[in-house]
Chains A and B, each alone.
Chain A
């Protein structure tokens, strides 16, 4: 299965600033997924990042707030823009699907605290 390196692992940021989270995969994958996990809750899908096209966002998430880059088949970034305390969450990237025998791998997560 794929191995994902995600960074930073944690950060404390001032409100109004932006943070970019990076995920590097050790193999080429078509799609990468970005999730948010608010304290004490399950994972919510933010968007699907395809190489060579714009990311597809889920209901309640917009590109201006969570811009995503996918410059190649092994790398993606998620930016959390103009942060507020409500953005304090764990953000995770993931790869997987039927092309990977239905296996899904997750990065170790970025724990973001906005003060």
Chain B
């Protein structure tokens, strides 16, 4: 069974601070995605990374896919209260296209 462990599980920070969320697995994925989910809503896709070593930037968010395609990180610069939410990484299986979700990181940014 493919498992994706995220760390930290919970994160409470002040506005303006930087943070990094990690997503680790022993499995290799064809692609890895990051989602943010707010209460009462479905997950919203932030980014998809496909190539090992790939780095993508989305405004204050930087995503990296590990060289071996087993892990990923999400870095947020100068966090804002609007960044508050549940962040989920998800890896796609090569053979089945199944998307397996990580354990989740709940971020709270205080003004």
- By secondary structure, the B interface counts as loop
Among A41, A42, A98, the most chain B Cβ lie within 10 Å of the Cβ of: A42
**How many contacts between A and B, using CB within 8 angstroms?**
56
Residue ranges of B at the interface with A (Cβ–Cβ < 8 Å): 1, 30-31, 33, 40-43, 45, 48, 50, 86, 88, 90, 92, 96-104
Q: Which of chain B's residues have a CB closer than 8 A to the CB of A22?
A: none
With an 8 Å Cβ cutoff, the count of chain A residues facing the other chain is 24
Among B31, B42, B48, B104, the most chain A Cβ lie within 10 Å of the Cβ of: B42
- By secondary structure, the A interface counts as strand
Contact with B along A23-34 (1 / 0, CB 8 A): 000000001010
A111 to B33, CA, bound (A): 24
* Cβ of B95 to closest chain A Cβ, rounded Å: 10
